[in-house]
Amino acid sequence: MLSLEPEIATLRPTLGDARADALIARARREVFSVYPELRIAAWGGAMLLATAAGLVLKNNLDRLGPLALSLMIGAAAIACYAWTWFRRARATLVADYVLLLGALLVSADVAFIESQYHLFDEQWKHHLIILAVVHAIGAYAYGSRMLLSLSIAALAGWIGFDRAQDPSTLGIPAFATAIVLIGWREADRRFHGPEFSRTFEHFAANVALFGALAFIPDHGIAGLALTAIIVAMVIAWGFAARHEPFVMYAVVYAVIAVVVYLEQRSPGWKPVLFTLIIALAVAVISLVALHRLFARSRA
């Protein structure tokens, strides 16, 4: 097994004993990072607690009443925000996901209040814009990309979601959402800084690609051509930003677009299956080639 221990040992006078010992321990595999596992565990815990809150709402509605339940969930959300706020100077992974739990509780509480009291009546989806604003304020107050993601999701729902809406009509709302996100990114970058820029870019790219896909069922080749244009734009942006995930998004959506188009036009499943296999093979080869190209550009 390749070991850098001898080289680290020769640099001990430069590195110092503490740092050299830490690097040697890492080279020997005596220490290793469990950060990804902790993130997954913390995320899972936040989701489970949010689900538990939903079950509490469901099982105790008749016994406690909607007002008491909404106040209880609201108090729990405030406690999460307060706990994180007072520990913001020494932020930890746990604090990030306690904050996420608080935001999820706010979302559940607002949706519960709307379902019980019908404050917006037929315009019920306007509660999503309230959530978008609340989560955006939280994102900037705490510097949290997770809260910003919740805000963007709520905003996208407010712009594009309708209970009776056909999926094929989501194209224009999706493009409208992408344009709003690009504008928000530019304003944020100018007045706040680049901290949240990537979050806006990832959402804008995926929403725009999804919007192009939504045109394919009703517009056929025109929708496929539109998807190809958006795919090319996202790939170009990925290379310009030197950020590989954008290229991956574009390739994956391109494969989906071809399969959706053929599924709409083919009489049986065999042509679609054959095309899917070919498209996946092309996608894998393209992703490997693009990964190597990115690796060379970073070298």
Q: What is the pTM of this model?
A: 0.78
| pLDDT at residue number 164 | 46
User: What are the tens digits of pLDDT across the range 51-70?
Assistant: 776 676 667 767 778 888 88
Q: List the chain domain ranges.
A: 1-32, 34-160, 165-299
- Our measurement of the distance from residue 166's CA atom to the centroid of its chain's CA atoms, rounded to an integer in Å, reads 24
Question: What per-residue confidence (pLDDT) applies to 230?
Answer: 95
Which three-class secondary structure string do you get for 9-35? Answer: HHCHHHHCHHHHHHHHHHHCCCCCCCH
How many angstroms separate the CA atoms of 129 and 109, rounded?
Answer: 14
Average pLDDT score, the chain? 80
What length is written for the chain? 299
Q: Which two tokens stand for residue 133?
A: 């604003």
Rounded distance between C-alpha atoms, residue 216 and residue 130, angstroms: 32
How confident is the model at residue 116, as a pLDDT?
A: 83
146 vs 54 pLDDT, higher one: 146
Helix, strand, or coil (residue 206): helix
What is the pLDDT at residue 37?
Answer: 57
